[in-house]
Amino acid sequence: MDPNENSQAPDAPDSKKMNDSPLRSPSILLAVAAILLHRPGMLAAVAATTTTTATLSMKLLKRAYKSDIYDANDGICKQRSDRCCQKTCYLVYGTDDIRLRRLAKLGSSNRSPKPEDSPQNPENDAETSTAATTSEGKGKSPAEITPSSTPKPAAANPFTQLGVRSASGASPTTESGAQKRGSSNVDDRAPAPAPAKKANTEESVDDFSDRILSHIFRVTVDPDRITDVHGHKLNFLPEASQELKENGSPLKLTTAVLDSALLEAVTAVPAEKPILGYLLPCFKRIIRSNIVKETPEKREVLEEAKRLCVSNCLFALTIPDLFGRSQPESLASYLLRGHEQDDGVCLDFLREAVKRFPEDDQFPTVFADAMYSISTKLAGLTMESDYKPYINALMSYTKFPALLNALSQHPNFMTAQKSGAAVEKDTILGPFFRISPLQSEVTLTYFPNPRGLDRSRAAPSQDALRAILRVHQDELFTIANAFIRADTDTRTRVLDWFASAINTNHKRRALQVDPKEVSSDGFMMNLTVILDRFCSPFMDTTFSKVDRIEVEYFRRNPRVDIKEETKLNADQSASDAFYSKKVEGNSNFITEVFFLTLAAHHYGSEATNSKLKSLERDIKWYEKHLAAMEAERPKVQNQPAQLAMFEVTLKRHTTVLEKAIAMKFAIEGVFLDEKMQELSLRFMRYVAVWLLRLASQTNYTPDKDLQLPLPAEAPEAFACLPEYALQDVVDNFKFVYRREDFYVNSTLETTLTAGLLLSRDNSHLKFAIKLEASLTCRSYLPQIMPSAVGSEMIALCIAFLRSSEYIKNPYLKSSLVTLLFSGTWPFMHFKKGVLGDQLYGSKFANDNLLHALMKFYIEAESTGAHTQFYDKFNIRYEIFQVIKCVWGNDIYKQQLTRESKVNRQFFVQFVNLLLNDATYVLDEALTKFPKIHTLQQELEFGNSLSAQDREKKQEELQALEGQAGSYMQLANETLAMMKLFTSALASAFTMPEIVQRLASMLNYNLETLAGPKMGQLKVNNPSKYHFQPRVLLSDFVDIYLNLGSSQAFIDAVASDGRSYKPEVFDKASFILSKRSMKDASELEQFDSLKAKFQESKQIADQAELDLGDIPAEFEDPIMGDLMKDPVILPSKHIVDRGTIVQHLLSDPKDPFTRQPMTVDDAIPHTELKEKIQKWKDEKIAAAKARAKGDAMDVTEG
């Protein structure tokens, strides 16, 4: 036995049913006609039978007449060589009468014509017909193909092992050896043959042909042979044997009769058995028999066997009538069986089949249909199913561009339905991309009992998930890359498919997503990853190919649809007008892939990231809901019917929660793939550089300087880009910067609800405040964090914050701040985060960062959103953190000084808003503590409270605690920023427009912390609210000391009639001294400053007495004070310049008419100012004269 034989091969033909063979039926003529498609020379041999065969296909005959080989006029083969005719024409003119007679026998029941008879005479065919059963086969019955079970090993025969044939020509195996084999007759693995005995003479070609072809096809024309040299059972072909005898030829199976013999063998396969089940194992044996040492003649025998085997396989797939069957064979199941199976389709078979594609248009279609059938079956499987055979089948196709071209031309390569779900399930490639661990059926397999899992316990499953997904994505890339490289048409079609998958999934970014209308997360994630890999070759570290990305893409015939997308800085009509101006030319491949990948991130990975955030909210809601349900259990505990309903409902909700948690772990597992994120970040860095080049209209790369501000007017091509071009970059980096154990190690998050309870849809006004709680934090993706560091990311954030008018969406602009903020959090050995060191030392950042942050601090006051009042606190908190990170560099202090001098109005506006925030958040925080104190006392000592009242008060307390904690965090950060700024630039905070408000704010809060009502601030566990009253008091005193050198500040503090009280300052000194919050020198400075305040107060009080009543025309109508610099407003009202400046800083409108105005619209009232000054001088002079007179009277007395 051949040790290379596979035991799963189908049986060879069996002779017992040859009499019932379809060859005996007249319908065989239709099949014979069909073979003319590829054997046109056969037409003359069959012509005699056409008049008696009503079912002969005229279509097949017409196709035969169109052959390039057969001449329809004279029936003569155009290729005269015997070798060519044997392979192409089937009929060998003048030398192959035996085959001619065989064909006639297959076409009728009459005897074959004599050699001298014309093959075109039907009468001769009828007269010479004989029964096939009269063959001299010694009782052998006709052959039957039965591809079935595996035989038992045959007994070893020493003659067989030596390669010696018995003298009688019988089978080399003994009878007893044959009996030991099972009734099945497929290949089996035999013992390794012993060394062959050296023959005295070389084996002839005919002997070799008979031996090897019998072994390959498991048939024989010798009735005395039972098995081949390896012991495999051979099935006798009576028709072929009879033909050889009639022609006096040796009973040997050679290439001269192989075609007709194979036709007889294949036709004998029972109707319920597949023909490919017989032929494919034959092909495998041909491949294994291809021995290099054989002579060219012998190798030619194997090549002919291979050609005929493949031809018959193709005929079984395209013209089943040839074998008396009504339906063609199905190739799909054999593609799924794998190369190693004998009846599986291997690469050698595909290679031979592809060579025949030019011969018949049906051949490519058959292979495309087979893959579509495989794809349809795969659409119903998941990653936990046995999906690998389906992937391997398509992987086999990738070796042959012709097969991929055929697939791309298949009607179902694309889908006419405009839904993402249809693209995923109904196209050929869709089901292959659908396989993912994010399929809902799979997640619980990776994460069973997910409610009991924490991040560390889920990590091993996530590692396994990533490993499996990475292998699958490698295969998907191989498949997609093969399509791209096949040919131009195939590349075009596969790019169209990618675009279709993207364009039909716009609804994935909707607020409410219907899963039935869009593709799954797993499908879109795979799509995004594969497109990322296509971008990898041009994403070099020097950005040398970034200029190949053509901005004209969207003005040609773009595959990506952006019509309904929000644009960076253009409305719908403006973008429509811009894109209606078409640009000639075709976009290059780099451009096509770049924009496809950018869109894939938006609708793929970023949409999935958004789902992750919503899952986190849903999980919290479900957990709270289940806890509430469990609390209701005692109410139904003793009611069986209601308890049963309760358990069903509880189980249903628990299942939903577990699926959500498992999906969350699965999505995180996919997103935490370092290789995937590293490639994604590389792409996003390329996008950032491309956007900066487009916006700045320069050839910017990270090694070049970027000049800011950007041009005053944004290029139209930039303004009309989809907003996600920038948003995807920011969101991708924000995800990478996220920290593990978010609520424990890195930040504390609290929520201000503005009096509204938390809800699932998160529609209430709220803001989240993040507070650093540890010096270091761990990243989700520590290994790739260094690759996320690039000067282009800093340039991107600063450029579009400095020139914020380039971006319309305020949320997108705030995301740039968030990106900088996230990049400055301490990480591993990066004490200033992954961006902090560059922000600290980069010249570009030194020149532009502070102004950019101050500008957006001002813009955040009015974002246009309904939550803008609360949004600004998050934005400003993050701005504070970035400034604190870089403040150690003196250059930033110098920049602050420069801003106060060069951009005075800009700086004043910034400081005014800083004071507004400080005033508001301090007041909100500190006024909550007395209420908290009262509620805590009532709950602690209120034993008489009813359960309902107690629950109500607890809810009220919880709401107050949350609000107080949030506001207190903001207050601490705002005060810390004021300390930094006043320490570096005291003079800027004592400008006339600022100083009075600042002094009043400080006095008011100092009175709250050290005044008579300070005891009301006492609460249980104040650190819970981030409230440290003594530290807060110390900070306020530091600000007083920072500004104490300014007489304007001293006068402003002393003139604050509402809150300035010398005893409060004394109390503050006592507390700081007692608690050792200040050293002796600082206390001494503060005491000195207090004395100055008292002196100024005395002078101010005396001045007020001296002036007396102020005339109405000199009094400010808003503040009620004496005007110092009166100005005329557009509304013709007269106010003090300081008053209107203060007003316009917060509200740029005329306070009387509400019409827009600026400080430049205020006209100085010089005449009134002179009158006021004259009046003051007169009053002061009179007061001095009275004082002098009083002093003289005292002296005289």
Report the pLDDT value the prediction gives residue 579, as an integer from 0 to 100: 95
Q: Please compute the mean of the pLDDT values over residues 447-468 and round it to a whole number.
A: 90
Report the pLDDT value the prediction gives residue 823, as an integer from 0 to 100: 87
d(CA 613, CA 619): 10
Does 497 score more than 90 pLDDT? yes
Is residue 175 very low, low, confident or very high in pLDDT (cuts 50, 70, 90)?
Answer: very low
Is residue 155 very low, low, confident or very high in pLDDT (cuts 50, 70, 90)?
Answer: very low
Q: Please compute the mean of the pLDDT values over residues 528-541 and round it to a whole number.
A: 95
Report the pLDDT value the prediction gives residue 202, as an integer from 0 to 100: 75
User: Could you give the 3-state DSSP secondary structure of residue 1164?
Assistant: strand
Q: Please compute the mean of the pLDDT values over residues 334-354 and round it to a whole number.
A: 93
Report the pLDDT value the prediction gives residue 68, as an integer from 0 to 100: 36
Do residues 437 and 383 lie in contact, with contact meaning Cβ atoms separated by under 8 Å?
A: yes
Does 729 score more than 50 pLDDT? yes
Does 100 score more than 70 pLDDT? no
Is residue 9 very low, low, confident or very high in pLDDT (cuts 50, 70, 90)?
Answer: very low
711-722: per-residue pLDDT in tens?
A: 999 999 999 999
Is residue 524 very low, low, confident or very high in pLDDT (cuts 50, 70, 90)?
Answer: very high
CATH of 1113-1196, picked from 3.30.450.40, 3.90.79.10, 3.30.365.10, 3.30.40.10, is 3.30.40.10
Do residues 908 and 994 lie in contact, with contact meaning Cβ atoms separated by under 8 Å?
A: yes
Residue in 539, 510, 543, 503 with CA at minimum distance from that of residue 524: 503
Q: Provide, rounded to the nearest whole percent, the portion of the chain with pLDDT above 70.
A: 78
Do residues 518 and 507 lie in contact, with contact meaning Cβ atoms separated by under 8 Å?
A: yes
Does 543 score more than 90 pLDDT? yes
981-995: per-residue pLDDT in tens?
A: 999 889 888 988 889
Does 438 score more than 90 pLDDT? yes
Q: Please compute the mean of the pLDDT values over residues 1052-1062 and round it to a whole number.
A: 91
Report the pLDDT value the prediction gives residue 126, as an integer from 0 to 100: 32
Contacts of residue 557, defined as CB under 8 A and 6 or more positions apart, other chains included, come to none
Report the pLDDT value the prediction gives residue 131, as an integer from 0 to 100: 32
1146-1175: per-residue pLDDT in tens?
A: 788 899 999 999 888 999 999 999 998 888
Higher pLDDT, 229 or 331: 331
Report the pLDDT value the prediction gives residue 786, as an integer from 0 to 100: 66
231-258: per-residue pLDDT in tens?
A: 899 999 999 999 999 988 999 999 999 9
- What are the two backbone dihedrals, phi and then psi, of residue 769, each rounded to the nearest 5 degrees? -115, 130
628-643: per-residue pLDDT in tens?
A: 888 888 888 888 999 9
Look at 8-22, 67-81, 630-644, 920-934 and tell me which has the smallest mean pLDDT. 67-81
Look at 420-429, 807-816, 990-999 and tell me which has the smallest mean pLDDT. 990-999
d(CA 952, CA 196): 99
Look at 155-169, 503-517, 549-563 and tell me which has the smallest mean pLDDT. 155-169
Q: Please compute the mean of the pLDDT values over residues 839-864 and round it to a whole number.
A: 92
Report the pLDDT value the prediction gives residue 738, as an integer from 0 to 100: 67
Report the pLDDT value the prediction gives residue 590, as an integer from 0 to 100: 96
895-915: per-residue pLDDT in tens?
A: 999 999 899 889 988 998 899
d(CA 1038, CA 551): 54
Report the pLDDT value the prediction gives residue 1191, as an integer from 0 to 100: 55
Does 735 score more than 80 pLDDT? yes
Across 753-775, b (16+ Cβ under 10 Å) vs e yields beeeeeeeeeebebbebbbeeee
Q: Where are the alpha helices (DSSP H) in 251-295?
A: 255-267, 276-288
Report the pLDDT value the prediction gives residue 780, as an integer from 0 to 100: 59
CA distances for 243 relative to 33, 112, 114, 712, angstroms = 21, 9, 12, 94
Does 153 score more than 90 pLDDT? no
Is residue 1176 very low, low, confident or very high in pLDDT (cuts 50, 70, 90)?
Answer: confident
Does 181 score more than 90 pLDDT? no
1082-1128: per-residue pLDDT in tens?
A: 999 999 999 999 999 988 888 777 778 888 889 999 888 889 899 99
Report the pLDDT value the prediction gives residue 788, as an integer from 0 to 100: 65
Report the pLDDT value the prediction gives residue 30, as an integer from 0 to 100: 40
Is residue 1190 very low, low, confident or very high in pLDDT (cuts 50, 70, 90)?
Answer: low
Q: Please compute the mean of the pLDDT values over residues 475-479 and round it to a whole number.
A: 97
Residue in 927, 1028, 1031, 928 with CA at minimum distance from that of residue 979: 1031
Does 614 score more than 70 pLDDT? yes
Does 61 score more than 50 pLDDT? no
Q: Please compute the mean of the pLDDT values over residues 53-68 and round it to a whole number.
A: 34
Summary mean pLDDT of the chain: 80
Report the pLDDT value the prediction gives residue 134, as an integer from 0 to 100: 33
Report the pLDDT value the prediction gives residue 293, as an integer from 0 to 100: 64
Sign of CA dihedral 36, 41, 43, 45: negative
Look at 123-132, 682-691, 808-817 and tell me which has the smallest mean pLDDT. 123-132
Do residues 825 and 780 lie in contact, with contact meaning Cβ atoms separated by under 8 Å?
A: no
Q: Which two tokens stand for residue 1021?
A: 């566990």
Report the pLDDT value the prediction gives residue 979, as an integer from 0 to 100: 92
Q: Provide, rounded to the nearest whole percent, the portion of the chain with pLDDT above 90.
A: 52
Contacts of residue 880, defined as CB under 8 A and 6 or more positions apart, other chains included, come to 973, 974, 976, 977
Q: Please compute the mean of the pLDDT values over residues 114-129 and round it to a whole number.
A: 35
Report the pLDDT value the prediction gives residue 82, as an integer from 0 to 100: 36
User: What global pTM score does this model have?
Assistant: 0.78
* Sequence-distant contacts of 897-905: CB under 8 A, at least 24 apart: 897/984, 897/985, 897/988, 899/850, 899/851, 899/854, 900/985, 900/987, 900/988, 903/851, 904/991, 905/1159
User: Could you give the 3-state DSSP secondary structure of residue 1149?
Assistant: strand
Report the pLDDT value the prediction gives residue 787, as an integer from 0 to 100: 64
648-706: per-residue pLDDT in tens?
A: 999 999 999 999 999 999 999 999 898 999 999 999 999 999 999 999 999 999 999 89
556-570: per-residue pLDDT in tens?
A: 999 999 999 999 999
Report the pLDDT value the prediction gives residue 1110, as an integer from 0 to 100: 85
Query: What number of CA atoms fall less than 13 Å from residue 812's CA on the CB side?
Result: 20
d(CA 1013, CA 929): 11
> Domain ranges in the chain?
1-192+202-329, 673-886, 906-1107, 1113-1196
